Structure 1
Amino acid sequence: MDAGDDVPFEPWSPSFVADPYPALAELRARGRVHWFEPTRQFLVPHHADVSALLRDRRLGRTYLHRYTHEEFGRTPPPAAHEPFHTLGDNGLLDLEAPDHTRIRRLVTKAFTPRTVQALEPVVQRLAAGLVADLRKAGGGDLLADVAEPLPVAVIAEMLGIPVPDRPLLRPWSADICGMYELNPSQETAARAVQASVEFSAYLRELIAARRAEPGEDLVSALIAAYDEGDRLSEQEMISTCVLLLNAGHEATVNTTVNGWWTLFRYPEQLAALRADHSLLSTAVEELMRYDTPLQLFERWVLDDIEIDGTLVPRGCELALLFGSANRDGARFDHPDELDLARQDNPHVSFGAGIHYCLGAPLARIELAATFGELLRECATMRLAAEPRWKGGFVIRGLEELRVEL
């Protein structure tokens, strides 16, 4: 185990965030597990370990189904953060069995493959409209003009959120997701709590309206979801809707924008894709692998485990490094090369195990629609200005991506 102060991992450094991959390669070369004192976590950089640990039931996204904070050796979160934790603690991402099993079963009854497939024409229409506007303008910010509005509009359409209210969603989501960064500041926490209160209150009103007058939307379907005498509680519905927005667009936005930034830096690969649109499905998967939108996923150690001879005791936290796993030469041929035709591509960008991304099929439809429209309608699109990275490492993306036609 690497346990020194010189661990090559600097998630708060702008230069590291801009290109973490050389340092992540060094982490892999040094070993399979590394103690990182600033966050008091064990870093796990290898694909085989990340993939196995995502499925390991000795780990959990929470420990509260088995232990109190005190029993687990942890300090309870501040009382002022309660709205944020109530929201997260009742969502699929941060639950374990049996609650996770029960809620995922009920949500799956509402969020069916047929529901997702029925959204495809909606996604295509929205993508076509956004790209047409970009073309008419002769370019713009790909993030603000195309990548961001599309998944937010799709989730809003799915939930049945009225059009005038939709501009509220992205700021709420951004503020809540700030808490998933490493060691968030008090200011970040305060914004996340406020957004949690406002978003929850909004959804409580929306759920009440749908109870009185059900529609064809997902909120109505969640209200109606019923299994073995069980239904979702109001808080579980609220947490599910927030998770669908947050997880349902953060990864899609960053895959789109980071992906185009990658393509602009590999002009021969972009030319091949423009010449042969049948590469699109493997290209989307490769762009998710090559520059992973979610770089790190945390898990609590519920029972002692051993990694490469290192005992990781109960009560510790693992940081599974998705971006590193997706560049692991032990699993991928030429991992640092972009290969849009790559066939063998078991990237972990959507996770694995019981927390595998519920929205992965929808994300793939959105990405295919956005990239497809841009390839067809903006065939001469090129970079207009060198982009800057946002400060966050866990959810890693660009501030903007200026393009011109």
Structure 2
Amino acid sequence: MAFDPWSPAFVADPYPGFAELRAAGRVHWFAPSGQWLVPHHADVRALLGDRRLGRTYLHRFTHEEFGRTPPPAGHEPFHVLNDNGLLDLEAPDHTRIRRLVTQAFTPRTVTALAPVVERLVRELVDGLLAEGGGDLIADVAEPLPVAVIAEMLGVPAADRGLLRPWSADICGMYELNPDEATAQRAVRASVEFSAYLRELIADRRVRPADDLISALVAACDEGERLSEQEVVSTCALLLNAGHEATVNTTGNGWWALFRHPDQLAALRRDPALVPQAVEELMRYDTPLQLFERWVLDDIEIGGTVVERGSEVALLLGSANHDPAVFPDPDRLDVTRTGSAHLSFGAGIHYCLGAPLARLELAAVFGALLRRVPGLRLVAEPQWKPGFVIRGLRELRVEC
């Protein structure tokens, strides 16, 4: 089988395997994870918007009715936090919560963050320059989105070091077949993060501030408000999902540019290419490789009936390298326009934070290209073991 998400070699370069899957058909049963793999762009795009599939099935069925085993009782804190967030809800709850969250997380909110993002990027690049280099991921890519989300939520600066470890432990549960040790780390982080957020929410109810938590608490539409758990889960989702795109696109993107010096040179000659280069880098080495959906009603893919109760794995990384949509898809081209990549998803679960991620990525790539024109790689990086959320352990550079 061309698909081997636990193989370090496959994680390092899944794209030849994806090409084999696309050539072999439109849908493939993968017994190790109990999922149907969907590798083609047209199918992935269509299924992301197909209401016969869902991120959950509990709005229509019990676990037993759906033929599934309930999660262990000891994992409940993780599922309470995760399952009340937008990413894992379906209508009508998803519709109501997204409408209320959109009132608080507006385009104006993102625009207002631009000076904050620019300041944070400047400070992080200053630090890299002062040291003559370092780990681009630990020193620049990771601190930026965590600081931005913390600023947006209103998390005090002294507490911001707590956020990244919590997020990393929770996100471990999104990998295929996570083990019990991973689950226990996620449970502990869910308990601690939820308790921390509840304290912040309680404070904002008494002393509202100009931050997203206050706005979420105040959001109201036709008498409807977010419950406290929905506010907690929304804040956690913004952190967990919000930083992954920026961290891994920055790391994966610079690694791609170092391997394609002609494209890096083109960007250095013309920084105006940065916004479309960000889109190309997200397509070329997708930070989120796979998106899972439950089949709520029988569907047919390429003549294969996928029955209700099944789970499909929509291979975003494969879709983003589909030659039916992207000419010469395995070539990095920072001048590529009109990108139809699916890195932010599609349909009702299209990433709410996409504008903020684009703002952060344009700022960090632009600043490094402009202020560190001699940035160079020190050592070939190693990939983290995770496949679903795919990124580098570190990226050592010199200025």
Matches of 1:135 and 1:284, distance apart in 2: 23
2:300 counterpart SS class = strand
The equivalent of 1:10 in structure 2 is 4
After superposition, the C-alpha distances for 1:38-60 in whole angstroms (9 at most, x for unaligned) are 00100000000000000000000
The equivalent of 1:201 in structure 2 is 195
The Cα RMSD (Å) is 0.4
- CA displacement at 1:344 relative to structure 2: 2.5
Matching residue's letter, 2:66: F
1:166 pairs with 2:175: no
1:369 pairs with 2:363: yes
1:396 pairs with 2:390: yes
Task: Report percent identity of matched pairs.
Answer: 77
The equivalent of 2:349 in structure 1 is 355
1:144 pairs with 2:138: yes
User: Which of 265, 268, 285 pairs up with 1:291?
Assistant: 285
Matches of 1:303 and 1:87, distance apart in 2: 27
- Length-normalised TM-score, structure 1: 0.98
Matching residue's letter, 2:285: D
1:168 counterpart SS class = helix
Q: Which runs of 5+ in 2 are unaligned?
A: none
- CA displacement at 1:132 relative to structure 2: 1.0
The equivalent of 1:188 in structure 2 is 182
The equivalent of 1:28 in structure 2 is 22
Matching residue's letter, 1:194: R
- CA displacement at 1:251 relative to structure 2: 1.3
After superposition, the C-alpha distances for 1:254-280 in whole angstroms (9 at most, x for unaligned) are 000000000000001100100000111
Q: Which runs of 5+ in 1 are unaligned?
A: 1-6
Matching residue's letter, 2:44: V
1:391 counterpart SS class = coil
The equivalent of 1:210 in structure 2 is 204
Matches of 1:270 and 1:199, distance apart in 2: 39
Alignment of 1:265-276 (within 5 A): 265-276=259-270
Matching residue's letter, 1:360: A
Alignment of 1:45-64 (within 5 A): 45-64=39-58
Matches of 2:307 and 2:363, distance apart in 1: 45
- Asked if 2 retains the 8 angstrom alpha-carbon contact of 1:282 and 1:341, the reply is yes
The equivalent of 1:134 in structure 2 is 128
1:309 pairs with 2:303: yes
1:105 pairs with 2:96: no
- Asked if 2 retains the 8 angstrom alpha-carbon contact of 1:132 and 1:377, the reply is no
1:76 counterpart SS class = coil
Matches of 2:137 and 2:128, distance apart in 1: 11
Matches of 1:327 and 1:46, distance apart in 2: 9
Give the number of equivalent residue pairs: 399
- Asked if 2 retains the 8 angstrom alpha-carbon contact of 1:110 and 1:218, the reply is yes
Alignment of 1:45-84 (within 5 A): 45-84=39-78
The equivalent of 2:38 in structure 1 is 44
Matching residue's letter, 1:178: G
- The ranges of structure 1 where at least 4 consecutive aligned residues each deviate by more than 3 angstroms after the TM superposition are none
2:220 counterpart SS class = coil
- CA displacement at 1:312 relative to structure 2: 0.2
1:91 pairs with 2:91: no
